[in-house]
Amino acid sequence: VIHCAGIRLQSNDFLSLLLTHESPILSLSKAHCVCFFLCSLVSQRSGEFSTIVSSVFVLRFDSVSTIREEHSFADVDNLEHCVKYLNQSLVTYGFSASLDLFATDPVSIARTCNCIYALIQQRQRDVEFRESTNDQRLRLLSDMARLEAKVERLENQLQSKERELGSVTRTEAKNTAALKAQNEKLQKERDEFQRMVIANQQVKTQQLHETKKKEKEYIKLQERLNQVLMEKKKETRSGMEIMNLLQKEGRQRGTWTGKKTDSDFYKKIVDAYEAKNQELMAENTDLRALLRSTQGDMRSFLNANGRTSLDPSQSPLGGKTDVFDLPFRMARGQIEDSLRSKMVTIKERMGQLVDAQKEVTITSEASERELELEAQLVEARSIIQEQESIMSKHLPKTDRRRNSAPPSQSLSGLRG
């Protein structure tokens, strides 16, 4: 059985010799040797012993003799106890039933051989497992070496990336410095532009005050015009009432005593009407003059702000006659349209001036800073000029002569 399994163990030859040799050997000695072999295999199975020191057996097959053993598991005295221990161990580790090592029948011998073969197979599996475990350990060591090489490579890459990061940081610092210089240059240009804006805002502020003044005058004029219109309506009503009274009193003319009373009455009415008419005409003339002057002021204000206006000698309709000299029923719509358009333009201009005044208040603080910077700039320029004058005094004479050479000589030198 051991030979068919093809397993090479230290005790294979001894076991085959023990089981198949034709020389007469005592059954007791044969059982003794089998117990020793089974004990060694069971001990390897259970892991109780790391190594078993094999005994040296000197077999003399030419005569019946006893087997001398050294450091053996079983001997003649404890053979029964060893067999009992081996049977218990085999059953414990899942092998076949208890063996009869003292029997000489083929069935018991076959059972013993099968048990020994199972132990040898287990031993072979253990050896294979150890070899596979050793191979796996070697593979793990190889993987570990490969991972260590990979870690080293990654560390080198990390160092290179850190160097690249340092170069990028330096480039960013240079770009930041250039950007800062550009921002300073733009700030200087902005300050110069703000100075120009402040000058324009002062002019706009003055124009805004004038516009408010003209607007107040226009409001007063409009109130006066409304008042005149209301008075005119009242006079029209009073005239209608007088006519009604004349008609009513005309029915009683038969009761009058003479013609003088009638003429005196009509004369008083006519005189009162003419006086009132003269007063209205004078007031109307004053209002026309006031409107004319107001329109002229508004035109001059719009022209001062860069607006195109009509020729003061012409009317809004393009004629040469002044619109204020026309009757009120003819010039009313034209005057209202002209005044509305001018007021809309003035309101727009006032809104712009209000916005400009807000900007002036915002930039007034910047103007003080600009003046301080201008003073520092003048001082720096004076220092630079002094340094240039000192450097020009200490220039070598050779440089002066070279600089004072005529251009013809320099050109001839270049041609040579």
Concatenating the DSSP letter of every residue in 240-254 gives HHHHHHHHHHHTTGG
- In this prediction, residue 45 carries a pLDDT of 45
Cβ(280)–Cβ(232) below 8 Å:
yes
pLDDT at 38: 55
pLDDT of residue 50: 33
Give the pLDDT confidence score for residue 142 in this predicted structure: 95
Side-chain half-sphere exposure of 276, counting CA atoms within 13 A = 14
Question: What is d(CA 355, CA 351) in angstroms, rounded to the nearest whole number?
Answer: 6
CA–CA distance, 42 with 70 (Å, rounded to integer): 20
In whole angstroms, what is the distance from residue 43 CA to residue 53 CA? 12
Each residue's pLDDT tens digit in the chain (416 positions)? Answer: 333 333 333 344 444 444 444 333 334 444 444 555 555 554 544 443 333 333 323 333 333 333 344 457 778 888 888 888 888 888 888 776 667 777 788 888 888 888 888 888 989 999 999 999 999 999 999 999 999 999 999 999 999 999 999 999 999 999 999 999 999 999 999 898 888 889 888 888 888 888 888 888 888 888 888 888 787 777 676 666 666 655 544 455 455 555 556 677 777 777 888 888 888 888 888 888 888 888 788 788 777 765 444 444 444 434 444 677 777 677 777 877 887 888 888 888 778 877 777 776 666 666 777 777 778 788 877 777 777 777 666 555 444 444 444 444 443 443 43
HSE-CB for 331 with a 13 A CA cutoff = 17
- 3-class SS of residue 76: coil
SS3 412: helix
C-alpha to C-alpha distance for 261 and 268, rounded to whole angstroms: 11
Q: What is the mean pLDDT of the chain?
A: 70
78 SS3 class = coil
> Domain boundaries in the chain?
2-104, 192-241+272-378
Tens digit of each residue's pLDDT (9 = 90 or more) over 120-158? 898 999 999 999 999 999 999 999 999 999 999 999 999
pLDDT in tens, 195-221: 888 988 888 888 888 888 888 888 888
How far apart CA 165 and CA 175 sit, in angstroms, is: 15
For residue 120, how far is the Cα from the chain centroid? 74
CB contact at 8 A, 322 and 314:
no
Q: What pTM, to 2 d.p., does this model score?
A: 0.28
How far is Cα 313 from Cα 318, in angstroms, rounded to an integer? Answer: 10
Residues 97-126 as b or e (16 or more Cβ within 10 Å = b): eebbbeeeeeeebebbeebbebbbebbeee
